[in-house]
Structure 1
């Protein structure tokens, strides 16, 4: 970038950083302020030609959008965590074996990468066919089947690593059921 752009950005940063930080603190607290301010000025640097004069209202709008996006992301994470916790809590109608299987499966599932969990949940709990799950994650059905196979293998391995062995056996039984169910849906 030319020196003019660097000088302009530096002037915007020096002149507005404290006010943007204060705005973010007033909206979300000081714990997230530095990160949001950094992200705000990163956007300003990338879109320097779009930054109007005076820049402060535009910077406030960018910071507001970043805050909104982070709040939405946190809400999604909290919602998912609550959902997983609710799956782990046994319902009154569950028999002991189902409770043991569910607990073992969730413990093993929690150790997997997020992408593996998503595939297993889409296939096993949501009951999507490979073609439907592929559309959700944005890949071909063949790619999804390969990824799902690997995720199931990692789930079985995670179950065999974690004690006790009864729980590992329960996860293998559930994993086999998921594989059989998915195989029927693919036909």
Structure 2
């Protein structure tokens, strides 16, 4: 492939997928680091353009962005005071301003999960990837990813149960019929008899 053709392909990749890569990075780090991650991701794509899948490059770009973010965390002096786990794992999703109470509980529950569980959930729920594409982004088979996703959903449900505020159990008993409905039915059944009596008269 010639240099102009390479440049044209990279420009097309950027035009089509830069917003998705930025959203992926922004959900995992701050705004400045996300911008750097997008630039580095497409720089890697330029250097390894022959490895970028032609048909569906987005999972490859997400995988590259994930590695870029990991490298950022390891080399960022501002995160030196964080725990070793936070250095080794993607940062938990950060709540946007004005997030609802329910949304905050979800984010806290996600933060309590392992990096593997969290990434499986975010790739499908937030990035909108189908299991096959999410598996490609994580470098595993679809069957393996489906198992991870199933387990991650169960663990998220358990974490959400811990995050839910305590309160009285809501009644799940079926509602009774509205007043007058039940008493009206016998009267309805008597109407044909009354009509037949009037006919005999």
Please give the range of the TM-score, normalised by the shorter of the 2 chains.
Answer: 0.3 to 0.5
Greater Rg by CA: 2
* Greater share of residues in helix: 1
